[in-house]
């Protein structure tokens, strides 16, 4: 029988980092309901998200392979 022995914590962290990266580079949401609010949030958090999202993905990969 095939046993799936993945570390789900790492997968969830990676997916969260990818989602934040897509938001930081304005790929998501495609048609925001309130574009002015979206622009304000991007101006406020865009730079830090572009730094933290890849870091989060790297931490998720380390968690996935069992280093952390």
Residue-wise pLDDT tens digits, 37-68: 999 999 999 999 999 999 999 999 999 888 88
The 10 Å Cβ neighbour count of residue 1 is: 2
Per-domain residue ranges for the chain?
8-65
Using CA atoms, how far residue 27 sits from 10, 18, 21, in Å, is 23, 11, 9
- Higher per-residue pLDDT: 32 or 2: 32
The pTM (predicted TM-score) of the whole model is 0.85
């Amino acid at each position: 029988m095939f046993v799936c022995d993945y570390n789900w914590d790492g997968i969830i962290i990676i997916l969260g980092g990818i989602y934040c990266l897509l938001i930081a580079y304005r790929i998501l949401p495609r048609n925001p309901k309130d574009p002015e609010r979206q622009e304000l949030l991007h101006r406020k958090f865009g730079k830090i998200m572009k730094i933290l999202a890849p870091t989060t993905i790297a931490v998720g990969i380390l968690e996935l392979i069992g280093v952390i």
